[in-house]
């Protein structure tokens, strides 16, 4: 397909660029020897070669702990890219490791990848450091500069107890000793933070801290661990697993303890806040009491009673009034009853000329001729008196 067209140089060049600049050619590690090294406006330009081939390299704004030299055996990390203006491909270098460390370096990368996959570097496993440890376990060489640096910083900032676990930090058996020291410190109950430290050295010197044993011991530690291994630019596997990584042993000690003056100030501040809050609380109580005392109950205590008395009097008055009313009505009612009873009285008819007769013998009303016989005495009641009469005769209608 490509053959059917005539390309411009730019066209084919950008096509080549697309073919070369693939994912698999980025962030790769390449081992070789530096030659033709030169610096220009802060950038490095050199060739990386072995017995059979050469690749051009460029490193922009390098920040390396050393300056590369011709003949140096190195491993570079970078991306392969095409430089179209000059018509060649080159390595855009991001990092350079020195020395005949090829094999070790591969082991480092492999272990790093493996442990990373297992999650040993995960942020979620990172323990927080105690604010103020009472005893710091330090895993390092008893003769090295690291322990002296840590001691100096700690005595200056905040003197605490240091428990040194003396180990070899390089050479045969160093990794085992470091791992064991971490385990032993974990078994004690007086340590609350561990610093694993080692001064600067070559890549091989630091190797113990790239061993899996050490990484596992750090990961399994229940106590938080700060690592400070080598120089600021050195990263070991131990650093990746640790809860915190410090660039130097002194920096690790600074992470481990706060400044005593700052803590003292903090306590003073707390005391001030507490006193202020206490004062506020008391003032508040006093103010509440004063407000209470200003209320009517305390200022004019009888006023409340006066009110009650007045209320009582009003009720009593109403009660009396209601009583009087009721008595008056009862009286009226009674008078009315009296009048009607009077009206109904049989004696009333006597007034009008009637009389009432009773049998004398038993004082029963005599209202029928059958009620008495001839000769019986009859009492006749009239309006102004009575008379006893004897029946002479009787006749039924």
Partner 1 sequence: MQNGEQKEEIKFEEALKKLEEIVDVIERGELSLEETIEKFEEGIRLCKICKRKLEEAEMKIEELKDEI
Nearer to partner 1, 177 or 211 (CB): 177
Contacts of 101 (CB under 8 A, 6+ apart): 75, 203, 204
Part of the chain binding partner 1 (CB under 8 A), chosen from 14-22, 153-161, 308-316, 346-354: 153-161
Contact flag: residue 254 with partner 1 (CB under 8 A) = no
**Considering only residues 27, 67, 143, 155, which one is a binding residue for partner 1 as defined by CB under 8 A?**
155
Contact flag: residue 292 with partner 1 (CB under 8 A) = no
Nearer to partner 1, 23 or 290 (CB): 290
36, 54 contact by CB (below 8 A): no
**What is the per-residue DSSP string for 247-273?**
SSHHHHHHHHS--HHHHHHHHHHHHHH
Categorise residue 162: left if φ over 0, alpha if ψ from -120 to 50, beta otherwise: beta
* Residue 260 Cβ vs partner 1, minimum distance, rounded to whole Å: 6
Contact flag: residue 270 with partner 1 (CB under 8 A) = yes
Look at strands 135-140 and 88-98 and give their pairing: unpaired
Nearer to partner 1, 34 or 194 (CB): 194
Looking at residues 158 to 177 of the shown chain, list those that interact with partner 1 (rule: CB under 8 A).
Answer: 158-167, 177
Contact flag: residue 209 with partner 1 (CB under 8 A) = no
Part of the chain binding partner 1 (CB under 8 A), chosen from 15-23, 55-63, 260-268, 350-358: 260-268
**Considering only residues 99, 130, 144, 201, which one is a binding residue for partner 1 as defined by CB under 8 A?**
130
**What is the per-residue DSSP string for 304-324?**
HHHHHHHHHHHHHHHHHHHHH
Contact flag: residue 285 with partner 1 (CB under 8 A) = yes
Count Cβ atoms below 10 Å from residue 224 Cβ, excluding itself: 19
Helix (H) / strand (E) containing 378: strand 377-382
Contact flag: residue 185 with partner 1 (CB under 8 A) = yes
Count Cβ atoms below 10 Å from residue 16 Cβ, excluding itself: 14
Look at strands 377-382 and 385-390 and give their pairing: antiparallel
- Please give the size of the binding site for partner 1, defined by CB under 8 A: 40
Six-digit token string for 49: 């070669």
Full strand arrangement of the beta sheet holding 385-390:
356-359, 377-382, 385-390
Contact flag: residue 129 with partner 1 (CB under 8 A) = no
Q: How far apart are the first and last CA of the chain?
A: 163
* Residue 173 Cβ vs partner 1, minimum distance, rounded to whole Å: 10
Nearer to partner 1, 292 or 322 (CB): 292
Contact flag: residue 274 with partner 1 (CB under 8 A) = yes
Q: Which residues bind partner 1 (CB under 8 A)?
A: 130-132, 134, 137, 142, 151, 154-155, 158-167, 177, 180-181, 184-185, 260, 263-264, 266-267, 270-271, 273-274, 277-278, 280-282, 284-285
């Amino acid at each position: 397909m490509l053959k059917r067209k005539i390309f411009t140089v730019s066209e084919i060049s950008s096509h080549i660029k697309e073919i070369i600049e693939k994912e698999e050619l980025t962030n790769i590690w390449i081992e070789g020897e530096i030659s033709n090294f030169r610096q220009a406006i802060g950038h490095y330009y050199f060739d990386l070669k072995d017995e059979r081939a050469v690749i051009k390299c460029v490193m922009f704004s390098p920040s390396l702990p050393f300056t590369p030299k011709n003949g140096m055996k190195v491993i570079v990390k970078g991306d392969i890219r095409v430089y179209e203006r000059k018509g060649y491909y080159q390595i855009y270098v991001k990092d350079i490791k020195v020395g005949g460390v090829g094999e070790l370096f591969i082991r480092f990368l492999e272990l790093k990848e493996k442990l990373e996959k297992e999650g040993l570097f995960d942020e979620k496993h990172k323990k927080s450091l105690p604010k103020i440890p009472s005893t710091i376990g330090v895993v390092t060489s008893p003769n090295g500069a690291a322990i002296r640096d840590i001691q100096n910083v700690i005595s200056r900032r905040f003197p605490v107890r240091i428990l040194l676990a003396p180990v070899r930090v390089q050479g045969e058996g160093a990794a085992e000793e470091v791992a064991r020291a971490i385990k032993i410190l974990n078994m004690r109950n007086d340590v609350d933070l561990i610093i694993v430290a080692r001064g600067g050295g070559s890549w091989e010197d630091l190797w113990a801290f790239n061993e899996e044993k050490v990484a596992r011991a750090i990961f399994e530690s229940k106590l938080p661990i700060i690592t400070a291994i080598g120089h600021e630019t050195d990263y070991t596997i131990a650093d990746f697993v640790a809860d915190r990584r410090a660039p130097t042993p002194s920096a690790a000690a600074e992470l481990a303890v706060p400044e005593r003056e700052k803590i003292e100030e903090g306590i003073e501040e707390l005391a001030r806040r507490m006193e202020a809050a206490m004062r506020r609380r008391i003032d508040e109580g006093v103010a509440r009491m004063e407000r209470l005392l200003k209320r009517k109950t305390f200022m004019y205590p009888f006023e409340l009673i006066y009110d009650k008395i007045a209320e009582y009097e009003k009720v009593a008055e109403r009660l009396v009034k209601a009583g009087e009313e009721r008595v008056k009505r009862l009286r009226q009612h009674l008078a009315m009853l009296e009048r009607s009873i009077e009206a109904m009285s049989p004696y009333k008819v006597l007034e009008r000329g009637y009389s009432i007769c009773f049998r004398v013998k038993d004082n029963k009303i005599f209202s029928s001729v059958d009620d008495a016989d001839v000769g019986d005495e009859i009492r006749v009641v009239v309006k102004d008196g009575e008379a006893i009469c004897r029946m002479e005769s009787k006749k039924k209608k």
